[in-house]
């Protein structure tokens, strides 16, 4: 069946720098191809969902305060999310969502928020709140079977350590830590990144990687996606990459 089921977690609390736009983009790209895209929302006090019933779980980023608010609730979802992930549900995680799937997040005041521990990385916020990794970012990723340069916007105080399989190599900007060489975390069914913007706005290859994964997971066969006209998106990205890398 040509359908993707998505669970968007904490949409009302974790939505920085256009993060909810990622859902708009995924559903737009599905709609253009006649793929049904059903998005459910989960937040604090929602009824506990069957996480494994979803093809994609999406979590955006938020300020420290919001992250503290949701972390207790997120711990309750641990088993469900872990099982879903092991069953092949795709996890798409931005910024705070990325951090909270690791071992822990220690905020600028030294308060430790436990993560779900799905992955081995951990994050320590820069104690000086003014020293944040802020700005445009360009990374080179190989996830789409070929080398693609993608662009986004980062703004994080958190320094993420212990990533073995990053999403890509940093060409411009900071990445996982101040001036680091790599950005994000990647597994075949996990994309975790600090890229806002929203992340998918000018990176159609990443959107299609996620959509393609979700579809193939359902059908069990290798479905090819219909190509869309991405001229605007690619021009948009090229203008930024040219500007950033040529200076």
Partner 1 sequence: MNSILIIIGKITVAVLRLFKRNAGNLPGIVLWHLTRGKCCKMFKVDCPIIAITGTNGKTSVTNCIAQLFEQNGKKIIINKEGNNLDTGICSLLLRHCTIGGKVDADYLIFETDESHVPVVYSQLKLETLVVLNFFRDQLDRNGEMETLIQKINGFCKTFEGNLILNGDDPNTARLGRANEKNSNVKYFHAQPYAFATKTIFEASEGRFCPFCGEPLEYEYYQYSHIGKFTCNKCGFGNYSPYITAENIDLEKSVFTADGHTYSPKLNSIYNIYNMTAVAAAAKLYDIPEKVTDNVISNYTINNGRMETFMLGDRKATLNLAKNPVGANMTLRVMNEMQTEKELLFVLNDNIADGLDVSWIWDINFSVFDRVTRVVTSGTRAYDIAVRIKCSGYPAEKITVRPDLDEAVAELAKTEGRKFVIANYTAVQPTRSALKRYSDSHGGNNE
Contact between 4 and partner 1 per CB under 8 A:
no
Q: Taking CB under 8 A as the rule, which mask of x and - marks residues 33-52 in contact with partner 1?
A: --------------------
Segment interacting with partner 1 (CB under 8 A) among 25-33, 48-56, 110-118, 208-216: 25-33
Q: Which is nearer to partner 1, 64 or 183 (CB)?
A: 64
Rounded distance between C-alpha atoms, residue 51 and residue 173, angstroms:
34
Rounded distance between C-alpha atoms, residue 102 and residue 79, angstroms:
14
Smallest gap from Cβ 132 to partner 1, in A, equals: 8
Segment interacting with partner 1 (CB under 8 A) among 50-58, 113-121, 171-179, 190-198: 190-198
H/E stretch holding 154 reads: strand 148-156
Rounded distance between C-alpha atoms, residue 200 and residue 205, angstroms:
8
For the record, the structure tokens of 197 come out as 């913007």
- 95 catalytic residue (yes or no): yes
Segment interacting with partner 1 (CB under 8 A) among 50-58, 120-128, 174-182, 192-200: 192-200
Q: Which is nearer to partner 1, 130 or 146 (CB)?
A: 130
Segment interacting with partner 1 (CB under 8 A) among 21-29, 51-59, 90-98, 138-146: 21-29
Q: How far is CA 210 from the centre of its chain?
A: 11
Of 77, 196, 199, 214, which residue is the catalytic one?
196
Which of 48, 63, 111, 245 contacts partner 1 by CB under 8 A?
63
Measure the N-to-C terminal CA separation of the chain; round to a whole number of Å. Answer: 48
For the record, the structure tokens of 238 come out as 């090229």
Q: Does 230 sit behind a cis peptide bond, omega within 30 degrees of 0 on the bond before it?
A: no
3-state helix, strand, coil in the chain (%, to 5): 30, 30, 45
For the record, the structure tokens of 80 come out as 């469900």
- 30 catalytic residue (yes or no): no
Rounded distance between C-alpha atoms, residue 188 and residue 128, angstroms:
35
Which of 55, 107, 205, 233 contacts partner 1 by CB under 8 A?
233
Cβ atoms 11, 60 nearer than 8 A = yes
Q: Which is nearer to partner 1, 140 or 234 (CB)?
A: 234
Smallest gap from Cβ 38 to partner 1, in A, equals: 17
Backbone region of residue 18 per phi and psi (left: phi > 0; alpha: psi in -120 to 50; beta: other values)? left
Residues lying near partner 1 in the complex (CB under 8 A)? 12-13, 15-18, 20-21, 24-25, 28, 31, 63-66, 69, 129, 132, 134-136, 153, 155, 196-198, 201-202, 229, 232-233, 235-236, 239
């Amino acid at each position: 069946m040509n359908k993707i089921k998505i669970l968007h977690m904490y949409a009302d609390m974790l939505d920085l720098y256009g993060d909810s736009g990622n859902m708009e983009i995924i559903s737009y790209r599905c709609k253009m191809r006649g793929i049904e895209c059903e998005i459910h929302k989960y937040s604090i006090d929602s009824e506990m969902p069957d996480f494994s019933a979803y093809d994609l779980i999406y979590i955006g980023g938020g300020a420290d305060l919001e992250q503290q608010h949701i972390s207790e609730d997120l711990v309750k979802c641990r088993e469900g999310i872990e099982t879903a992930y092991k069953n092949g549900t795709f996890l798409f995680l931005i910024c705070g969502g990325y951090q909270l799937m690791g071992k822990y997040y220690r905020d600028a005041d030294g308060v430790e928020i436990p993560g779900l521990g799905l992955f081995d990385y951990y994050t320590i916020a820069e104690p000086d709140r003014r020293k944040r990794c802020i700005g445009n970012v360009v990374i080179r990723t190989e996830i789409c079977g070929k080398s693609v340069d993608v662009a986004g916007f980062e703004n994080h105080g958190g320094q993420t350590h212990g990533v073995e399989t990053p999403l890509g190599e940093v060409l411009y900007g900071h990445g996982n830590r101040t001036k680091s060489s790599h950005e994000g975390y990647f597994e075949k069914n996990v994309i975790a990144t600090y890229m806002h913007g929203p992340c998918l706005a000018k990176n159609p290859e990443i959107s299609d990687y996620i959509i393609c994964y979700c579809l193939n997971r359902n059908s069990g066969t290798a479905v090819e996606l219909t190509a869309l006209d991405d001229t605007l998106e690619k021009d948009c990205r090229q203008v930024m990459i040219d500007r950033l890398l040529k200076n």
